[in-house]
Amino acid sequence: MGNSMNRVILVGHVGAEPVLKFADGDNACVKFSLATTEHYRDRSEELQERTEWHNVELWGPRAKPLSQLIAKGAHVFVEGAIRSRTVDGEAGAKRKFTDIRARDVLLLGRRTDAGAAARRGPGLAAVERAGAFELDAASA
């Protein structure tokens, strides 16, 4: 029973602007979609491409700075766990969703546009180093 693990590692591109929400007033959560694309050759040696979309969420004090740092198109590394949830849909039908509960998100690169830079604003003191980011005390 003790030999099990729920761990996922994804590297992909953010599909839409992240959404920051708060639960219980101060418990921050940032949610974003992540696209991962694999390339392979089929039986006839034709190059194929398949994109999977993942719903990612990160909870806690890093959620707000992360929501200001990443933008649509950003290239990110996500490490976390798979979480499933069931929601009651229309006419009593149950819908099952699979999400990624991130433990760590690292910015590998970002789309360069004025909108993303404006969203980050001057108040976020982020130092990008080796694909990761650190936050100083002033920005937390």
Q: Is 132's pLDDT higher than 90?
A: no
In a domain, residue 17? The reply is yes
Q: Is 8's pLDDT higher than 50?
A: yes
In a domain, residue 140? The reply is no
Look up the pTM and report it. Answer: 0.73
- The Cα-based distances of 118 to 2, 4, 30, 69, 80 in angstroms read 48, 44, 18, 10, 29
What residues make up the domain containing 32?
Answer: 8-135
The Cα 9–Cα 114 span in angstroms is 30
In a domain, residue 3? The reply is no
Give the domain CATH number at 72.
Answer: 2.40.50.140
pLDDT digit string, tens, across residues 56-113: 999 999 999 999 999 999 999 999 999 999 988 888 889 999 999 999 999 998 765 5
pLDDT value at position 30?
Answer: 97
Structural domains of the chain, count: 1
In a domain, residue 18? The reply is yes
CA 71 to chain centre: 10
pLDDT value at position 1?
Answer: 63
In a domain, residue 62? The reply is yes
In a domain, residue 1? The reply is no
